[in-house]
Amino acid sequence: MALPDGVQYRTFDGEERLATRGEAVYGEPVVDGWRAWDAHRSKLGAMYELGMKPGLDDDDRVLYLGAANGTTASHVADVAGPTYAVEFAARPMRDLLSVAETRGNLFPLLKDARKPETYAHVVEDGLDLLVQDVATRGQARVARANRRFLHDDGRLCLAIKARSEDATREPDDVFDDALDDLREGYEILDSRRLDPFHADHLAVVATPR
């Protein structure tokens, strides 16, 4: 699997692990400036571990929806160019702001990913990558609403959490409906369950249509 230059497999305590170059954020080991990327704490990291091609490339312009405390957003910012990180909750935003202090290209936005019009004046158009990990109903609709920021050849890297959509239904049924909804705005390039790293999650890589 081809990786961007900013994402490599490095040795930590005798084990080859995915890594990016940057300062530690969540207690992960760092060796020679490279920090381990824990796939059990990162949907995007799990996608790499499972052989997917999320589309993250060096110096990409990125919109990250559902940045939370900055665990994954920090790894993205280690690799990418301008990284706009949207988070709705105030408590994790405080942690995200601390992460941004050591990453000048990471721009935290205390906004609701379901309302892209509230941050459209800040986020530039023609972005290379949209990363989405939001725990809400209508995750495909959120991705479609934020499609406006991607250029025609851009990529969506989406983690769909079944239990956030409907905890009473079988995850596979939830995923099927979400993919049907997503196809109204995207061409799906790849989709895979994130087991064993994240239960009841489906990873999707897509491009605007």
Known binding residue 204? Answer is no
Known binding residue 135? Answer is yes
H helices of the chain, in order, are 43-49, 71-79, 90-100, 139-145, 162-165, 171-182
Q: How far is CA 180 from the centre of its chain?
A: 21
Known binding residue 206? Answer is no
Q: Which helix (H) or strand (E) holds 23?
A: none
Greatest Cα-to-Cα distance within the chain, rounded to the nearest angstrom: 47
Known binding residue 134? Answer is yes
The bridge status of strand 62-65 relative to strand 127-132 is parallel
Q: Would you say how long the chain is, in residues?
A: 209
Q: From 173, 169, 164, select the one nearest 198 (Cα to Cα).
A: 164
Known binding residue 71? Answer is yes
Known binding residue 102? Answer is no
Known binding residue 16? Answer is no
Distance in angstroms (rounded) separating the CA atoms of residues 28 and 22? 11
Known binding residue 67? Answer is no
Annotated binding residues, written as ranges, equal 71-72, 87-88, 112-113, 133-136
Annotated binding residues for S-adenosyl-L-methionine, written as ranges, equal 71-72, 87-88, 112-113, 133-136
